[in-house]
A and B are shown apart, each in its own frame.
Chain A
Amino acid sequence: MSEIDIELDELERDALTELVNIGVSRAAASLRKMVHKQVLLSVPSVEVITRKSAAALIGQRESENLIAVQQEFDGPFSGRALLIFPESNGLTLVRAIVGDDMSEEELLEMEAEALAETGNVILNGCLGSMANMLKKSLKMSIPDVRRGNSASLFHVGTEDTNEGFVLFLYINFSVRDHDIRGYIAMIMDLPSLEVLKTLVAAFIERVTQEAP
């Protein structure tokens, strides 16, 4: 398998970005309902890279430790989805969502739980609507909160990193005037990625030919 097979062309990237945007918009709507506050989510771009590059990429950009919500997904394409924040951003997100009424101790106590919940909404919305748009369905596992550096989150060095590819998304949160940046990473093996690409191609076909 040569590299070219996993590279996304511009339209594919646009399509995936759009699919994810639909997903995160759904998720934002869900969050709005949960917390009754203005929540905006946006995904400026997406790319497909190796796990090692993904780890390096986050490592380059984030100097602090990371916190991530992780969920397995299974369906026509399967893998692991991660919603990743710098640790401080994660806490900011929790505070933004739960409000300022809580003390620092209470906040720390429920951080993991709140993050897992928030992450679940976002990842579910994201992956769910994506699958929906691709006219497929995915099964999602229970969320799980992990901490560590980028290498440990992507299991660099512990698994055969050549086998894994990452659909890598930047995600911007705007919750009650807090700007929070994070990443969504969908770790898949090559067969899953190929399935995804096929599905996206079909989606593009459908959308661009469709007369509005």
Chain B
Amino acid sequence: MKSSRPGLFPKASASPTADPADVEHATGGREAEAELLEITNELATARERLDLTLEAAGAASSWNWDISANRLFADTRFAAMVGLDPLDLKAGVPTRYFFSAIHPDDVPRIRLAVAGILAGAEIFSKDYRLVKRDGSIRWVRAEGRGEADDDEEPVRFVGTLVDITDQRLAQERLRIAQEAGGIGTFEHAAGFATVNVSDQLCRLFGLHPTKVLPIKTLNDLIHDGDPLIIDLARPDGPQSIADREFRITRADDGKVRWLAQRGEYVEVAQGSQRYIGVLYDVTETKASQEQLRTANLALAERARGSMRERNRMWQNSRDLVLVLSGSGEIKDANPVWREILGASPSLALGRSIVDFTWPEDKASMLEAMEVASKGGRSDFELRLKHADGAPRWISWRTSQEDGAIYGFGRDVTLEREQAETLKDTEAQLRQSQKMEAVGQLTGGIAHDFNNLLTGIIGALSILRRRISAGRLDDLDRFIDAATTSAHRAASLTHRLLAFSRRQSLDRQAVDVNKLVNSMEDLLTRTLGEKISLSVLVHPETCCAFTDANQLENAILNLAINARDAMPKGGKMTIEAENVILTKADISRNEEIQPGPYAVIAVSDTGTGMTSETIAKAFDPFFTTKPIGQGTGLGLSMIYGFAQQSGGHARITSQLGMGTTVTLFLPDGSGADKVSIGSAPSQHGSLMGEGEVVLVVEDDSAVRLLIVDVLKELGYRTIEAEDGEHALPIIESAQRIDAVVSDVGLPGINGRQLAEVALARRPGLRVLFLTGYAATASSRADFLGPGMDMMTKPFSMDDLARKVREMLAKD
């Protein structure tokens, strides 16, 4: 072929049978011509068949680049691919035709590669584009070799050209798909420690793109314990083709990613299989899955939590929890039902709550259900009936929702019992305290009385002895001693009566200013030198309607308390003025009516009291003084006196600042005034003029004394020991000018007797004598016209004066 003719492109057949020399000496020219035609046709057919075959087989076309001759030879197929005349190529063309159809952009690198071959390189393997005459582009793969002669000089460049357009297209599609989807592919043949990989796969692992990687390189990037791509523990066996996911640490940036692997075995040749798989990044999917899962878990947990919580409350509540219909039918009851009511809650279901209600509370329960079903939230205490028949106090609260009533009931039976017990115990305690105090008091009084009685009895004995012995001189001393003791005893009983609020008050209009002023000397002496007294009386202070002696007594008592509250000295103030109390001035627990009052306030600058002390200050026997120093009766007595006067006593105090006790006494402006500080009026003759006096007294000693005195005074007397004996005398025609009667008599009392007597004998004078009289505590209410009263003990002189006064009032 080295002698081919360049530039000549004969269309004639290359077949030797076509040589014209052979035709000339043929006997039958026609015959030969026909034969030639036949052969030519056959040849054309064969060529056509070859083309078709080649085309069908995708067979390679080949070229032969004669380096030394600088000519290019190629087969028909090559000619077809590059668009040159096959005959020309068969004959040989200049080598530049090799590049004639190559896409301009690919020419430089193909020239480079060819230059390499011409310079001695051996391997030529290039993909490039050919531009067809119609403008279409085909991708081809050129695989060639440089061949050298014995002197290592390149002489020939041979190779084949294969159309790879479809393959290339498929590859491009695959590459685009891989890159777009981030999908890496790999191929592994059993027994190999390496795996063929795509660039994308390398990128997934953060590796430098390459075609082949050791499996170990990939497996080493997979986290311990996660599945491997290819298990090298069994390199020759079939690999698991199960879908899997694993974590990797990327080689380049060290990031942890999740990859998913899918793959299968594909038969590439008879008995030869390849494991072909793909890998793709599922980190984001994983992350969102994980987020979703966590969120779901959290949600479920929360739901479970609230369910558990609800359940826990239902199960463990110490309170009854009931679900009731609007009519009170029990739909559900929590387990504590059994604990509180002694029966299974299941037995209660379907029955009415009223069935379990304590009989006396059934009506209230029905009412409560009525309120609750209307949405009213109600709190009430009603009893349920325990299975053993005992009542259980339940404190209820209900709510209503969607037609159902939710009842929450707390068992307060025990609390109630305890409160009851506490109340009893407190009462008992108070009683025993009272008894103790009464014991202490009566002991003290007995002691005082005994002392006084000893003085009286002793003096009387001495008098008797002296009189018997005729020693009448110096008797007065003993008479005075006895009298003093007796007066002290009288004063003691008076105080007791005041404490018991059973004293008889002689209420009159008392000039408060005058009274207070008259006491100043006494108080100054009582308070001592360390305490200064200041009296601030409003000049227009009205009269108080009260008992002057008791008021004096009260002020003295308050002054003594004030003194005791100021052991280190201080200032005591007594004020007097008028006030008009309105409702707003009176606190709820104060027993006083609105209106005008005379007010006397005694203040000190002493230790003061706590609010607890104030609350109890008026209680009988309450004292802050050491035992023996006070009876605890002072303030109680004052309070009793004020109340009995129709007034009030009030304490205001602050710890460390001092105390003020204020007495409110009714305005006595309209009443008769009593003279204060004036000496008793001197009487004229106390002697009777033979008037008849009926003396009714159950105490014979007292009766004896009275009768004796009256006789001495010149009265005639009739004695009766009680009402029973007195009535016949009163109803008789016997002259009676006056009746002197004890109030507290056995049988009919003195007051009743007086009524009978006055009915019988209008104008009769009646003088009551009383130690204490429940009904006679207020003299004015007790006494009718023609009546008068004396309080025991009294002196015989007073008695004489009183009787005389009564009889003189005609």
Contacts and interface: CB of A to CB of B under 8 A. Distances in A.
Interface stretch (A98-106, A111-119, A149-157, A203-211): A203-211
Contacts of A10: 109
Interface in A1-38: 10-11, 14-15, 18-19, 21-22, 25-26, 28-29
B121 A204 contact: no
Interface string A114-146: 000000000000000100010000000000000
Nearest to B72: A212
Interface in A150-206: 181, 204
Interface in B117-151: 119-123, 125, 146, 148
A53 B207 CA distance: 11
A11 B99 CA distance: 17
B111 A22 contact: no
Most buried by A among B108, B121, B208, B251: B121
A22 B152 contact: no
A48 to B, nearest CB: 13
A14 B113 contact: yes
B366 interface: no
A208 B123 contact: no
B251 A212 contact: no
A42 interface: yes
Most buried by B among A19, A22, A40: A22
B120 A22 contact: yes
B115 A18 contact: yes
Contact of B214 (A21, A40, A63, A210): A63
B112 A208 contact: yes
B588 interface: no
A18 B112 contact: yes
B120 A26 contact: yes
B96 interface: yes
B23 interface: no
Contact of A61 (B114, B119, B125, B217): B217
B213 A60 contact: yes
A18 B208 contact: no
A62 interface: yes
A57 interface: yes
B107 interface: yes
A103 to B, nearest CB: 26
A210 B118 CA distance: 13
B191 interface: no
30 contacts: A10-B109, A14-B108, A18-B113, A18-B116, A19-B116, A22-B119, A25-B122, A26-B152, A29-B120, A29-B122, A41-B122, A41-B123, A42-B125, A60-B207, A60-B213, A60-B217, A61-B214, A61-B217, A63-B214, A63-B216, A63-B220, A129-B120, A133-B119, A204-B108, A207-B111, A208-B108, A208-B111, A210-B115, A212-B94, A212-B98
Given A29-B148, A208-B111, A210-B115, 20 more contacts: A14-B108, A18-B115, A21-B122, A22-B119, A25-B120, A25-B121, A25-B146, A26-B152, A29-B122, A40-B122, A42-B123, A61-B213, A63-B214, A129-B119, A181-B212, A207-B111, A207-B112, A212-B99, A212-B111, A212-B114
Interface of B: 70, 94-96, 98-99, 107-109, 111-116, 119-123, 125, 146, 148, 152, 207-208, 210, 212-214, 216-217, 220, 251
Interface of A: 10-11, 14-15, 18-19, 21-22, 25-26, 28-29, 40-42, 53, 56-57, 60-63, 129, 133, 181, 204, 207-208, 210-212
